[in-house]
Structure 1
Amino acid sequence: MTAVAVTEQEWPAGWAGEVVVDLGAVRENAAALAERAERAAVMAVVKADAYGHGLVPGARAALAGGASWLGVAQLEEALALRAAGIGAPVLCWLFAPGQDLAPAVAAGVDLSASSPGAVAQAADGAARAGRPARLHLFVDTGLGREGAPPAAWPDLVAAALAARAEGAVEVVGAWSHYAWADAPEHPTVHRQTALFREAVALAEAAGARFAVRHLANSAATLTNPDARFDLVRPGLAVYGLSPVPDLGGPARFGLRPAMTVRARLALVKEVPAGHGVSYAHQYTTTAPTRLGLVPLGYADGVPRSASGAGPVRVAGGRTRVAGRVCMDQFVVDLAGLPGAGTARAGDEVVLFGDGRYGAPTAQEWAEAAGTISYEVVTRMSARLPRRYVGEAP
C-alpha cells in the first residue's frame, strides 16, 4: 500500500483545522474488500456523506477500487450521485410514506421495499417516471428495524409480484441486515442467515427471480463467508476502519484508515501550578506548564464525551484533552512532551489518522468517548474543510 504523508508545509492558508481524506486508501480498501468477497459483488455504502469522507469523492474512489454498486440511506444522496454523473447501480433504502419517488425511479435508483405500501408507493413513482421501479425486498430476519417480519413476508412478495405483472416494478433483489455481525459466532448470526435463506426460497417458490441477494455488512464481509451471497455491503471498512476491533484492527484485514483530522495550535501559554483548565475546572495543572489551545470543538465533531480522555499528537508526542471539550476549542497540557519547550502557535495537532508516526486513531477516540468509530468519523462537521489527497492520476 502506498503511504500519503501530510506535512505541516501543506497547510492551506487560513485554515485552523481540516479533515484530510486519502482517496488512495479508499480505493485500496475497496480492492481488498472485493478480493475478500470473492465471487460476490461489492456495494460500497456511501451514506452519511460517505461516513464523513465526502459522498461523491468517496463513491468514485470506491468504484475505482472495485466496487460495482453504491448504497445510500436517503433519496437526496442517491440523486446527488446521479447529478455528479455516477451511473453505477445505487440502492436507496429509506423514504417516508408520501415522499415522491418519481425522481429516483427516473434516475434509475434502486429502492428498498419493506411493506406492500412501499411497493405501491414505488409503483406510483414509476407511473409518473414512465419506467418501472427497481425493487429490493427487505425481510426482517431479526434486527427489528426495516423489513417485513417473516409472517408478513409473503404479503410483501405477493404485492411486489403483482406490481411486476402490471409492469410497474422489477423485483431485483432480496436483502436483510444483521443485528450482531460483529460477533460472528453469535447465535443470532446463524439464525438470521438461515431465516434469510428460507425467505428467499419462499419468494422464489412464489415466482420471484432475484438478480442479487445480499446480507453482509462490513463485519460479515470480513468474517463470515456464508453471508456473502451475490453482493456484500461494506460501509465502515471501505474507509479503512475495523468493524470488529476486538478481533483485529484495520491492518489485520488489509485496510488503511482514509481520514486524518488535524488542527494548528491557536495559542501556547505558560501557566502556574494549580491553574484550572476549561469549564468547571475538571482539569487542574499540577506544576508550572505550557498549555496549547486547539481551535476545534464539539461543533466540529470532537466528542464532548471525550473530555479529559481524547488522545492527540502534538509537540512530538502524545497527550490527551485537558478538561472539557468546548463548542469551538479544547486545551492540551504540553507537560512532558518532547517539544513542549519550543511549541508555538501554528504547530500541528493530529487528533486521529491512520496510526502511523504515533498519531491516534479513530478507534482510540471511540474508546475515549464511549462510542464506536462509525460515529467518530461521521460526526466530523461540514464546518471543518475537507481536503483530498491520493486521487487517481
Structure 2
Amino acid sequence: MTAVVATRPRTGSGPRLEVDLGAVADNTRLLARRAAGELMAVVKADGFGHGALDVARTALAHGATRLGVTSLDEAWPLLELGAPVLSWLNAVDADFAMATARGVEVAVPSMQHLAAVAAAPGRTRVHLHVDAGMARDGADPSSWSLLCRTARRAEQRGEVEVVGVMGHLGCAGTPGDECNALGRTRFVWALEQARAAGLRPRDRHLASTAATLTDPRTHHTMSRVGAGLVGIDPSGSTALRGAMTLTAPVVSVRRVRAGTPVGYGHAHRTTSATHLGLVPLGYADGLPRAASGRAEVLVRGLRRPVVGLVSMDQLVVDLGQRGVDLGETVTVFGPGDAGEPTVADWAAAAGTIEHEVVTGIGARVERRVLGATHLRSLS
C-alpha cells in the first residue's frame, strides 16, 4: 500500500532550461587564447541547443571572428550579426544563388557541388572541403587534385573565389590516436595540391574544439569550435564551464514500502521504505531513456537516483526517508558548482556523448537566457 502525500505542483512552476551566456563568454575567451589563428564560432543545431543567435552574439563579443553552421537555412538568421558565415553541409540543389547574393560562404566537397555553386549568378566565396580520413563529408583524396584544378578554372572565370580549404579530424577527442597524424598529413597534402593548382586560400582550418585545445599542429589559420563554446571538451583536457542548467519541480510525492515496483515493466523495486518523487520531464523532453536506473538529480543539496524507466513525460526519483515538499525544485543537470549532476554525468549514464544531451532538450521546456555579466576567468 502507498500513501500519496501530494499530487499538484505550485501554480506557475514547470521544467526550465537556463542558458548562461557568461559561461559561453568565458569559454570563448579561453578558446580564442588557445587558438593560433582566428576562431570560428560554430553555432549549428541552434547553437548546440543553447540558442544560435545568443551564442553567436556572445562568442563574437569575446574573441570569435567568424560563424559556422551546417545548412544555409541555419545561416540566414546570423547575417544580422555582421560577421562572415560559412555553411558546409548542403545538397547540390541548395539555394547557392541566395548564398552568393547574401554573402554566405559555402563549402564545396565534390565536383557536383562545385558545378552547382559555379552556376549561381555572381561570385561565390567557397571553402574546398577535403576528407581528412573520416569517409564522411569532404572530397575523397582521389578526386581532390581534379577538384582543385576545376575550382581554379572556375575562379579564373569569375564564378567562385576559393577563400578556404577545410577538413575535419575523426579522432581529435583522443589526442594520441594515430588517425590524427594521418588527418594532419592529409590536410597538409591537400593544401599543397591546392597551391599547385594555382589556388591561394587564405583560410585553412582543420581543428575543432578538441584539437584546438590539445594539438597546435592542427590550428593553421583558423579553428572551428562549437561544443567548446557551451562547455563541452571532447578531449577531457580542459575545464570548460557548462552553460546549461535544467530544473523541474517535484509534482508528486508518495511514501512506499520496500518491494514497491516502479514504472513501466516494474524495472525497479524499492529495497526499503522510501519516498518517491515524480518529476515532469522525460524522453520527449530530451532526457535519454538509456539513462534509466543510472542517472541522478540534485534534491536539497544531495544527489538522488532516478529509479525505474524514464518515461515520455516523467521520471521517478528515490527521495529517501525524509522526502521533499511538493513543488520543490530538482536540478537535473548543471555546471556542477553545487554538486549537481552535469551534462557529462547524464551522457555517461546513457552511454552517449554530451552533444546529444544538450541538443536534445525539447520545445516543451521553458527557456531562460542569463546575460553575459559577472564573467569568470578561466585558465
Both proteins in one fold, TM over 0.5: yes
CA drift of 1:97 comes to 2.1
Q: Is the 8 A contact 1:73 1:92 kept in 2?
A: yes
Query: In the superposition, relative to structure 1, how do residues 89 and 159 fare at CA in structure 2: closer, same or farther (>3 Å)?
Result: same
- 2:92 is paired with a residue whose SS is coil
Partner of 1:260: 245
Per-residue displacement from partner, 1:328-369 (whole Å, max 9, x unpaired)?
A: 000001015xxx34x122111111111111111111111100
Q: Is the 8 A contact 1:267 1:344 kept in 2?
A: no
Per-residue displacement from partner, 1:216-249 (whole Å, max 9, x unpaired)?
A: 011100000100000001111111122123xx4x
CA drift of 1:102 comes to 1.7
User: Aligned to 1:162, which of 149, 153, 164?
Assistant: 153
**RCO greater where, 1 or 2, for CA within 8 Å and sep 6 or more?**
2
CA drift of 1:119 comes to 1.1
Partner of 1:389: 370
Mapped pair 1:87 → 2:55: no
Partner of 1:3: none
- 1:152 is paired with a residue whose SS is helix
Q: Is the 8 A contact 1:236 1:374 kept in 2?
A: yes
Partner Cα separation in structure 2 for residue 170 and residue 317 of structure 1:
57
The residue type equivalent to 1:65 in the other structure is H
Partner Cα separation in structure 1 for residue 57 and residue 319 of structure 2:
40
Mapped pair 1:284 → 2:276: no
Partner Cα separation in structure 2 for residue 384 and residue 221 of structure 1:
33
Partner of 1:237: 228
CA drift of 1:385 comes to 1.9
Which shifted more, 221-230 or 138-147? 138-147
- 1:356 is paired with a residue whose SS is coil
User: How many residue pairs are counted as aligned between the two chains?
Assistant: 365
Query: In the superposition, relative to structure 1, how do residues 328 and 173 fare at CA in structure 2: closer, same or farther (>3 Å)?
Result: same
Mapped pair 1:18 → 2:24: no
CA drift of 1:13 comes to 6.9
- 1:377 is paired with a residue whose SS is helix
User: Aligned to 2:359, which of 370, 378, 381?
Assistant: 378
Mapped pair 1:51 → 2:48: yes
Partner of 1:150: 141
Mapped pair 1:132 → 2:158: no
Partner Cα separation in structure 2 for residue 132 and residue 178 of structure 1:
29
Partner of 1:62: 59
Q: Is the 8 A contact 1:315 1:334 kept in 2?
A: no
- 1:358 is paired with a residue whose SS is coil
Per-residue displacement from partner, 1:78-108 (whole Å, max 9, x unpaired)?
A: 01212xx111111101111222222222111
Partner Cα separation in structure 2 for residue 171 and residue 386 of structure 1:
40
- 2:346 is paired with a residue whose SS is helix
Per-residue displacement from partner, 1:173-209 (whole Å, max 9, x unpaired)?
A: 0010001111112111111101111110111121101
The residue type equivalent to 1:324 in the other structure is L
CA drift of 1:315 comes to 3.0
CA drift of 1:115 comes to 1.1
User: Aligned to 1:118, which of 98, 113, 123?
Assistant: 113
Partner Cα separation in structure 1 for residue 353 and residue 211 of structure 2:
17
**Where do 5+ consecutive residues of structure 2 fail to align?**
1-9, 375-379
Runs of 4+ residues deviating >6 angstroms = none
User: Aligned to 1:367, which of 348, 353, 358?
Assistant: 348
- 1:25 is paired with a residue whose SS is helix
- 2:331 is paired with a residue whose SS is strand
Partner Cα separation in structure 1 for residue 137 and residue 20 of structure 2:
33
Partner of 2:184: 193
CA drift of 1:138 comes to 0.6
Partner Cα separation in structure 1 for residue 213 and residue 283 of structure 2:
32
User: What TM-score results when the alignment is normalised by the length of structure 2?
Assistant: 0.93
Which shifted more, 280-289 or 353-362? 280-289
CA drift of 1:382 comes to 2.1
Aligned-CA RMSD value: 1.5
Mapped pair 1:105 → 2:100: yes
Q: Is the 8 A contact 2:175 2:235 kept in 1?
A: no
